[in-house]
Amino acid sequence: MREQILEILRKDARTSSEMIADLIGSDAETVAKEIAEMEEEGVIRRYKTIIDREKAGDERVFAFIDVRVSPTRGVGFDDVARRIYRYPEVHSVYLVSGDYDLRVVVEGETMKEVAFFVADKLSTLDGVLSTQSNFLLKKYKEDGDIFDDIEEDTGRLLIS
Amino acid sequence: MKPISQTVEHYPPSGIRKFFDIVSQMDDVVSLGVGEPDFVTPWRIREAAINSLERGRTSYTSNWGLLELRRVISRYLEGYSGLCYNPENSVLITVGVSEGMDLTMRTLLNPGDEVIITEPCYVSYKACVELAGGKAVTVEAKKERDFVVDPKDIEAAVTDKTKAVLVSYPSNPTGAVADKKTLREIVDIAVKHDLYIVSDEIYDRLVYDGEHVSVPTLPGAFERTVLLNGFSKAYAMTGWRIGYAAGPTEVIKNMMKIHQYTMLCAPINAQNAAIEAIVNGAKDREDMRREYGRRRRVIVKGFREAGLDCFMPGGAFYAFPNVESTGLTSEEFCEKLLFEHKVAAVPGTAFGACGEGNIRCSYATSIEDIVTAIDRIKAFVAGLK
Ligand SMILES: Cc1ncc(COP(=O)(O)O)c(C=O)c1O
């Protein structure tokens, strides 16, 4: 039940409890209760809107910063990550395997602003060995949503 | 000019056609009249086809179809229903189930041989039988039985001319799914009277409550059943034109003869795409099935709220609500609904006279369109009172 509700809400967070109930063969009350419980437990954190920033005229820049960290006694990955993610300009932070340890997504008004943030705030943190910045040039797909406008016109007949 | 063949000249066009011609002249129509998935073919399958074109695979294939495709189908059938078909001589790749049906009838029938068909049914069955020189004997699947045929009616229709019985569940247009007991009884009748069974299982993967029962798995059925299936519905591949027939070697070999002369082979690119569908398409297929299953609940509830009697279809992607309470015939209902409220549906009578009183509504349509259509139907029905 939860899995089904989440799958539907992931696609459209505005789907009503009534509609979800119809879709999965339950009743609106049960669904609403389940959703409330998931909100309570933090399974559902909050509901956001997916915006095509480019179309919205939003010119902010994004960069993926690969950060190498040398954890020391008393300062682990979590500590470094926490110091990083508290900055509002930090969009997301992941601990990853491979050559780098943290993948940080930073947003800013201009490239310069992002670059300064990295130089000033990230690379100077205790435990941070190096950073490598990659600026986002074009977003094709994010979180399952395709931002690349090529219309698929199926030309399906109306009656067949 | 001399007249063309009398058989063809006087043959009626498909009942779906008429509505299509009207709808294509109108704007803003929400269509529940579509008999194919609204999904585009899953990307992995399209990509496999692009790759196959890039590699220059543009030739004819064996008349039987690519051996690799026949092998993966054979393995798939074994894993799915435990059936063992030799890919060398018991599986034929066809241009959709459409061609498979035509080949089956032309292979099985002598002039005047009878085939028992259950109506309401897919529009091509009767035509395939009759154009092959056979006689279609129709029995009625009754509303009271949720459109699952009563085997007794089939038995009553058997004569010494009967050659085959055609079975098709899940059903287009009703969405009915036959239970195992009913299917067993039909098989028993076929065994008793030594009839072939032609089983169109094109919607086998679109079953929402419970498991599909494949007819040739039933005792006594395997050696007398031509199993027809394809990729159109399960993998959203209608335009690729690809299907297969599996059955007794003697029958399939002879179907191949006609296919060899009339079709040569199914399109190679579609065959390569079909390999990808069978081998790696299960998840995409299942995702689509789940989606249809949800829409089905919404549309059925909508009809019931509109005051139309509608049973919960167990498979395919059609609901078959009853409109008799409105006092209109199926055709009147569909026409008015289309002209006055811009919703297209197909009158049940397009699928046989006994479809009178019902309309076929496809839920292979986005949930938004289904909601809009239901709102309009509610307004329409309320306005009739
Ligand atoms: C019951 C049934 N059989 C066969 C077909 C034709 O399938 P194909 O695309 O494989 O020719 C359809 C298509 O609507 C159908 O509904």
Residue A126 resides in a domain: yes
pLDDT of A60 above 80: yes
Residue A117 lies in a domain: yes
Q: Say which CATH number the domain at A102 has.
A: 3.30.70.920
Domains in chain B, CATH or no CATH each: 6-41+283-383 (3.90.1150.10), 57-281 (3.40.640.10)
Question: Does residue A8 sit in the same domain as residue A61?
Answer: no
Report if residue A145 sits inside a domain. Answer: no
Residues A90 and A133 in one domain: yes
Domain that holds residue A82: 57-138
Supply the pLDDT for residue B157.
98
Predicted local distance difference test score (pLDDT) of residue B286: 97
Exposure string over A53-77, b if 16+ CB within 10 A, otherwise e? eeeeeeeebbbebbbebeeeeeeee
Q: What is the pLDDT of residue B333?
A: 97
What is the complex's ipTM, to 2 decimals?
Answer: 0.83
CATH label of the domain that carries residue A13: 1.10.10
Residue A87 lies in a domain: yes
Distance from CA of A33 to the nearest CA of B (A): 20
pLDDT digits (tens, 9 = 90+) for B181-210: 999 999 999 999 999 999 999 999 999 999
User: What does chain A come to in residues?
Assistant: 160
Q: Both A25 and A67 in a single domain?
A: no
Domain count, chain A: 2
A68/A129 same-domain check: yes
To 5 degrees, how large is the angle CA B147–CA B152–CA B156? Answer: 115
What residue's CA is closest to ligand 1, atom 13?
B35
SS3 A119: helix
Query: Which run of H or E residues covers position B256?
Result: helix B249-262
CB contact under 8 A, A23 and B24: no
**Could you tell me what percent of chain B has a pLDDT over 90?**
94
What's the pLDDT score for residue B36? 93
Mean of per-residue pLDDT scores for chain A: 93
Yes or no: say if B377 and B303 are a contact pair by the CB < 8 Å rule.
Answer: yes
| pLDDT for residue A104 | 97
Mean pLDDT, range B7-21, rounded to an integer? 83
Do residues B195 and B224 lie in contact, with contact meaning Cβ atoms separated by under 8 Å?
A: yes
Q: Is the peptide bond before B170 cis (omega within 30 degrees of 0)?
A: yes
Same domain, A16 and A69: no
A73 in the same domain as A21: no
> CB-based contact (8 Å) between B317 and chain A?
no
The pLDDT, as a whole number, for residue B385 is 77
Q: What is the mean pLDDT of residues B123-135?
A: 97
Residue B44, classified by CB atoms within 10 Å of its CB into exposed (0-12), middle (13-18) or buried (19+), is middle
Same domain, A74 and A35: no
> Are residues A64 and A26 located together in one domain of the fold?
no
Q: Identify the bridge partners of residue B31 per DSSP, sorted by sequence position.
A: B344
Q: Are B105 and B116 in contact (CB under 8 A)?
A: no
What's the whole-number mean pLDDT along residues B304-314?
A: 96
Kindly state whether residues A37 and A74 are assigned to the same domain. no
Does residue A160 sit within a domain? Answer: no
Which atom of ligand 1 is the closest one to the Cα of B242? 10
Write out chain A residues lying below 8 Å of B31, CB-based. Answer: 158-159
Quote the pLDDT of residue A153.
74
Residue B24, pLDDT score: 82
- Are A61 and A129 part of one and the same domain? yes
Rounded to an integer, what distance in angstroms lies between the CA atom of residue B178 and that of residue B154?
14
Average pLDDT of the segment spanning B111-136: 97
Which of B122, B204, B237 maximizes ligand 1 atoms within 8 Å of its Cβ, making it the mutation to test the pocket?
A: B122
Q: Are residues A34 and A62 in the same domain?
A: no
Q: Shortest CA distance to B215 belongs to which of B177, B249, B268?
A: B177
- For residues B383 and B326, the answer to whether their CB atoms sit within 8 Å is no
Give me the mean pLDDT over the B83-112 stretch: 98
pLDDT tens track for B37-75: 999 999 999 999 999 999 999 999 999 999 999 999 999
Kindly state whether residue A148 falls inside one of the protein's structural domains.
Answer: no
Over residues B282-289, the mean pLDDT reads: 97
Write down the pLDDT at residue B25. 83
Query: Angle CA(B362)–CA(B293)–CA(B23) in degrees, nearest 5?
Result: 15
SS3 call for B360? strand
Q: Which atom number of ligand 1 is nearest to the Cα of residue B231?
A: 10
Amino acid occupying residue A4: Q
Cβ < 6 A, ligand 1 pocket: B 35, 96-98, 122, 168, 172, 200, 202, 230, 232, 238, 243
pLDDT of residue B22: 82
Q: Which of A24, A152, A160 lies nearest to residue B40, judging by beta carbons? A: A152
**Structural domain includes residue A15:** yes
Assigned domain for A49 exists: no
pLDDT tens column, A2-48: 999 999 999 999 999 999 999 999 999 999 999 999 999 999 999 99
Do A17 and A66 reside in the same domain of the chain? no
Residue A63 pLDDT exceeds 80 = yes
Overall residue count recorded for chain B in this entry: 385
pLDDT at residue A155 in the model: 79
Q: Which atom of ligand 1 is nearest to the CA of B121?
A: 1
pLDDT band at A76; cut points 50, 70, 90: confident
Is pLDDT of B150 > 90? yes
